[in-house]
């Protein structure tokens, strides 16, 4: 019957993904390395008064709006670069193994992640800038965990790290708790800092977690990943 055939195909795809988990992990590590570097640069050096996106928008709208939309545009640009790098690694690996680029396994993984990623995209248009990093951490963590049935353990731990960190920062205001807010005497003009709390979170969490994950995974990658597939 068609339903039985569909179920068998689905199980076959999941089994194939589980067997290739270490291969997927190696590709993810390379993309994570690039993403970590980009996040660290964007959040650490292109933030606050040094943010080129905010500067570009400041001449066309109110400064408060420019800060929000500039922040969103900057991190959307970082996301686009990370996606492009990941697609490149996926394409190169599929070509090396002689498999189609858009394989049934890739479709299964993407479909599992779509609900969390779509919700995160909608939230981006609703929440204030200072709360966006926490929401992005939560939904990114959920998206990664949605592949837990066929992902390697290191990737699952990364998903939990993002989810738990995002939830914690959503409950605890780190900016106030760590004394990061500016304290200026009354009457003095507020000077734009060289950083912002949201950018600091993005640089430390998205940048730091991905760099740690990439370093640990690449160093522990089994020798079998370097050998051509039989």
Q: What confidence tens digit (pLDDT) does each residue in 149-204 have?
A: 777 788 889 999 999 999 999 998 766 655 555 444 444 345 556 678 899 999 99
Look at residue 88 and tell me if it is in a domain: yes
Q: Which tokens sit at 57?
A: 């928008």
d(C-alpha 176, C-alpha 184), whole Å: 15
Look at residue 143 and tell me if it is in a domain: yes
Look at residue 227 and tell me if it is in a domain: no
Q: What is the DSSP letter of 193?
A: P
Look at residue 228 and tell me if it is in a domain: no
d(C-alpha 148, C-alpha 136), whole Å: 19
Backbone phi, psi, residue 62, to 5°: -60, 145
Look at residue 3 and tell me if it is in a domain: no
What is the domain range of residue 135? Answer: 16-184+192-220
According to the model, what pLDDT value does residue 40 have? 94
Look at residue 10 and tell me if it is in a domain: no
Burial of 199 (0-12, 13-18, 19+ CB in 10 A): buried
Closest by alpha carbon to 221, among 31, 66, 26, 5? 26
Point out the residues of the chain with pLDDT beneath 50: 1-2, 21-27, 182-189, 223-230
Report the domain count for the chain.
Answer: 1
d(C-alpha 67, C-alpha 56), whole Å: 10
Q: Where are the alpha helices (DSSP H) in 45-173?
A: 52-58, 63-97, 104-124, 132-145, 153-171
According to the model, what pLDDT value does residue 126 have? 81
According to the model, what pLDDT value does residue 50 have? 87
Backbone phi, psi, residue 174, to 5°: -65, -30
According to the model, what pLDDT value does residue 119 have? 92
User: Which residue shows structure tokens 């195909």?
Assistant: 9
Look at residue 230 and tell me if it is in a domain: no
Look at residue 206 and tell me if it is in a domain: yes
């Amino acid at each position: 019957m068609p339903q039985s055939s569909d179920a068998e195909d689905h199980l076959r795809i999941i089994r194939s993904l589980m067997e290739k988990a270490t291969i997927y992990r190696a590709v993810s590590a390379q993309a994570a390395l690039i993403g970590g570097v980009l996040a660290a640069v964007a959040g650490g050096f292109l933030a606050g008064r040094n943010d080129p996106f905010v500067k570009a928008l400041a001449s066309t709208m109110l400064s408060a709006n420019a800060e929000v939309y500039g922040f969103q545009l900057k991190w959307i640009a970082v996301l686009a670069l990370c996606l492009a790098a990941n697609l490149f690694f996926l394409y190169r690996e599929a070509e090396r193994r002689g498999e189609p680029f858009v394989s049934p396994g890739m479709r299964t993984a993407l479909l599992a992640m779509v609900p969390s990623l779509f919700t995160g995209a909608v939230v981006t248009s609703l929440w204030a800038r200072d709360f966006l990093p926490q929401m992005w951490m939560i939904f990114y963590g959920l998206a990664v965990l949605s592949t837990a049935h066929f992902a390697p353990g290191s990737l699952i731990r990364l998903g939990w790290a993002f989810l738990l960190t995002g939830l914690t920062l959503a409950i605890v205001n780190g900016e106030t708790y760590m004394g990061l807010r500016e304290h200026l005497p009354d009457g003095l003009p507020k000077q734009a800092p060289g950083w912002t709390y949201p950018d600091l979170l993005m640089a430390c969490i998205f940048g730091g977690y991905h760099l740690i994950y990439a370093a640990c995974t690449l160093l522990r990658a089994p020798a079998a990943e370097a050998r051509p597939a039989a």
